[in-house]
A and B are shown apart, each in its own frame.
Chain A
Amino acid sequence: MTIPDPTAAGVVPLSAVATRTAGQRLTPHAKSFGNFLVVILLTYLGLLAVTFFIGRVIPIDPVLAIVGDRAPAHVIERARLELGLDKPLYEQFYIYIGKVLKGDFGVSVLTANPVMTDIKRAFPATLELASLGILIGAGLGVPLGVWAAVRRGKLVDQVVRVIGLVGYSVPIFWLGLMALVLFYARLGWVSGPGRIDVTYEYSITQVTGLLLLDTAMAGEWEAFRNVFSHLILPASLLGYFALAYISRMTRSFMLNELAQEYVIAARAKGLSESRIIWRHALRNAMVPLVTVIALSYAGLLEGSVLTETVFAWPGLGLYITNSLQNADMNAVLGGTIIVGSIFVGLNLLSDVLYKLLDPRTRIR
């Protein structure tokens, strides 16, 4: 039994209200929302500043990607001026932030497109892959983890652990290639690398960039099946890696929960084992599990350059890696913003879910 906290949300002494100044008449929710916005902006600013600085510090000449190795000196100089590389660092950053606030994220030197256009193409590819992956990973991982926790020490437990362990310690490109060899080359169960067959490439117009959605909306069911069969193998691969971690952590959290006293009490009360596990223990284990799943999803959304290389998947991982290796800083910064937004968003989501799921974690 906890000592009641008089400042718990919503319980404010009447006298305090009367003595508030004008500024403090804002409700606590509005104030915390304001705080929240400031915090988000600071996070972004910090992210961009550090990335910007890193971009100027890494030992790659950004002009090389634009003009190449053979360009005469005056062409190089011209390119340098156009990029604004002659100005001091803080001035370049200031200019960049100014443009970002207007919605201009610059043009990528590697693709000749505005960075946002590139990201609008690369991100949905990764989003589709990661989302299906996390569905597989969490959808299979959580039940497997629970099962392993309940059957702790028995064969099932060991098998689940080893499966997870293999998924975690095996190099992703190796597993990807082996999966391709088996399921694509030998068995022919799935389609090969790439998002869609060449035959369907120009038969659908991309609206969202999420091919599953686009083909479904257009009613092109043959193309839909084709997209799915291209998607399922890399998504399963990513899902397997997520599953390894998620099942592991679920098992760990469930073991913690099942050791609690309320479980004994519930059993004594005569509740069915199934109800205890799924309705009570798992619900409590979900609190920290939510962070785990959110972090895993964020990790998948960052894009895996090795998976995308093996499966010829034009996603965010390849985009950021390629840009970084060519010091295409506009693209890198754009990618950082997206990845940063993902983390911010998912962290927010998990914080909110915490508060919903576990009243104990509400601060104040």
Chain B
Amino acid sequence: MTSSKAASLRDWLSTDRPTSRRQAFMGRVYHGCRDFSRNRLAMLGLFIVLALILVAIFADVLAPYSAYTGDLRTTRLLPPSWAHWFGTDDQGRDILSRIIIGSRITLMVVILVAVLAAPLGLIVGTVAGYAGGWVDAVLMRITDIFLAFPRLILALAFVAALGPGIQNAVIAIAITSWPPYARMARAETLTIRQTDYIAAVRLLGASPWRIVLGHIMPLCVSSVIVRVTLDMAGIILTAAGLGFLGLGAQPPMPEWGAMIANGRLYVLDQWWVAAAPGAAIFVVSLAFNLLGDGLRDALDPKAAK
């Protein structure tokens, strides 16, 4: 593209007077991306997330040793060294390799739960907040019942129904994660529903569903995103907790949460067994948080400078 063409494209995207919906939308996307890229921390987050995805894809190639075999006699509980960057665990397996291979599982767990729980919570919350009346009451009672459940009970119920395995752990965690999003979305909706522009849209004849899906939800999305990105670490740690019940990663799966749970016995003297997956979780969580913050700042028109 010649520089003049690029310049005119940029003008087209940045105009104050978009002539079509598509132009307005493209313009928003463009500005969003530009703002995002200016935010250095958000870019750092994006970079780490992309790196994580690459590691997950090329895990088999990147891992220096097998993540599943180790020797009790010779390689057990070795401290970090040049041969084993993160040391070895109680079965003699190289922790770095386990973390690399495990990135796949962890990523899958976190994304699946976010994708399942957040939209569900968002819909329930916005519908309840907007509709009010008995719809609100019923939906909130259901939400309350889920919230009020000691999480363990629901998780154990899934063992009965579905059996062990990481996929079932994902479902169990998602089921216990959506209520807070619903309550938050409802709180935001209650504040938004009385505003002028919603009244205006209503006067224009928009159906309630259109209002909720098209107008209210987009405004709630940003706070849900913030909550979801903050929850990423919690989700991984919840998966670790479920591992104690037999729901979750089956050994010898190198799921990070399970690795931390196993490292519990060695925390005082062989700190690296739990520290390495813990650090990995922290880095991933940091990345998602920064990314989420950057997205929020870029998406939220009210925060525009």
Taking Cβ atoms with an 8 Å cutoff, the residues of A that contact B are 1-3, 35, 39, 42-43, 46-47, 50-51, 54, 57-59, 158, 161-162, 165-166, 168-174, 177-178, 181, 245, 248-249, 252, 255-256, 259-260, 287-288, 291-292, 295, 298, 302, 305-306, 320-321, 324-325, 332, 335-336, 339-340, 342-344, 347, 354, 358, 360-361, 363
30 contacts between A and B (CB under 8 A): A2-B195, A2-B196, A2-B199, A39-B137, A47-B145, A47-B148, A50-B145, A50-B149, A51-B153, A57-B161, A165-B233, A168-B230, A169-B237, A170-B282, A171-B278, A174-B267, A178-B267, A249-B227, A288-B184, A288-B188, A288-B191, A288-B223, A291-B187, A292-B184, A295-B147, A295-B183, A336-B150, A344-B148, A347-B144, A360-B194
Report yes or no: A161 in contact with B289, Cβ–Cβ below 8 A: yes
Tell me the count of chain B residues lying within 8 A, CB to CB, of chain A: 55
Bound complex: CA A291 to CA B58 (Å): 43
Q: Which residue of B lies closest to A347 (CB)?
A: B144
Report yes or no: A291 in contact with B145, Cβ–Cβ below 8 A: no
Q: Does B166 sit within 8 A of A, measured CB to CB? A: no
Contacts of A177 in B (CB 8 A): 267-268
A43-B144, A343-B144 known; A306 vs B241 contact (CB < 8 Å)? yes
Bound complex: CA A199 to CA B157 (Å): 43
Report yes or no: B289 in contact with A336, Cβ–Cβ below 8 A: no
Bound complex: CA A354 to CA B186 (Å): 12
Q: Which residue of A lies closest to B186 (CB)?
A: A291
Bound complex: CA A212 to CA B285 (Å): 37
Q: Does B152 sit within 8 A of A, measured CB to CB? A: yes
Bound complex: CA A50 to CA B293 (Å): 38
For residue A170, give the distance in angstroms from its CB to the closest CB of chain B: 6
For residue A351, give the distance in angstroms from its CB to the closest CB of chain B: 9
Q: Does B160 sit within 8 A of A, measured CB to CB? A: yes
Contacts of A43 in B (CB 8 A): 141, 144-145, 148
Contacts of A252 in B (CB 8 A): 223, 226, 296
Q: Which residue of B lies closest to A1 (CB)?
A: B196
Contacts of A181 in B (CB 8 A): 268
Q: Which residue of A lies closest to B192 (CB)?
A: A360
List which B139-181 residues lie within 8 A (CB) of chain A.
141, 144-145, 147-154, 156-157, 159-161, 180
- Extra contacts, 18 of them, besides A255-B303, A295-B183 (Cβ < 8 A), are A47-B145, A47-B149, A54-B153, A58-B156, A161-B293, A169-B234, A169-B285, A173-B267, A181-B268, A288-B223, A291-B184, A292-B184, A320-B153, A321-B152, A335-B150, A339-B149, A344-B148, A361-B194
Which of B145, B150, B260 touches A171 (beta carbons < 8 Å)? B260
Q: Does B41 sit within 8 A of A, measured CB to CB? A: yes
Contacts of B150 in A (CB 8 A): 302, 320, 324, 335-336, 339
Q: Does B276 sit within 8 A of A, measured CB to CB? A: no
Contacts of B227 in A (CB 8 A): 249
Q: Does B113 sit within 8 A of A, measured CB to CB? A: no
For residue B52, give the distance in angstroms from its CB to the closest CB of chain A: 14
- State the 7 A-B residue pairs at the shortest beta-carbon distance, nearest first: A169-B233, A169-B285, A343-B148, A340-B148, A54-B157, A361-B190, A169-B282
